[in-house]
Amino acid sequence: MPLNFPTAVTTCFKKYVTFSGVASRSEFWWFFLFNVVGDGVFRLIKVSALLTIWSLALFLPALAVNVRRLHDTGRSGWWYFAWILFPWEIYLLCQPTTTLDNIYVGGWSPSITEDNVTSSSLKCPSCGKMRLPGQNYCMGCGVKFTDG
């Protein structure tokens, strides 16, 4: 559900330097608008001291909401450095929320589980637990598989 302006800005200030978790598109863009309008007002009235204070005060929450927004799209916060390629970062920030295999949203669930592996899969010779493709150790008893 999209956040409204006051809720989004309040959330960003409550999570001042929280780089973990996610931020919705509305949270990010409302805070972005808040930052741009405030910056524009201080530039318009030509009070450089207030502009400097504004910029310093909003640097960390703006960076944090940017990283959380990238997490919401299923990307690492290191993608923040895509601002070097400005249009690419805007593209990333406009992406919808990704929930499938997103390690930043409520934990990660593996793509391959015992439920979706065929019955022809190998089993552990020690405990009989099903062996998943690419698995080198048994998840049940810890025995190392010798057949690769």
Q: Where are the chain's structural domains?
A: 5-93, 110-148
What is the predicted pLDDT for the residue at 116?
54
Q: What is the pLDDT of residues 53-106, one digit of tens each?
A: 999 999 999 999 988 888 888 887 787 777 777 677 778 787 777 766 677 776
What is the predicted pLDDT for the residue at 19?
85
> Which one has a higher pLDDT value, 117 or 94?
94
Cβ neighbors of 117 (< 8 A, separation 6 or more) are 130, 132, 133
127 within 8 A of 143, measured Cβ to Cβ: yes
Q: Is the pLDDT of residue 27 over 60?
A: yes
Sign of CA dihedral 121, 124, 130, 132: negative
* CA distances, 76 to each of 6, 85, 88, 126, 135 (Å): 27, 16, 15, 39, 26
> Which one has a higher pLDDT value, 8 or 56?
56
Predicted TM-score of the model (pTM): 0.63
What is the predicted pLDDT for the residue at 103?
73
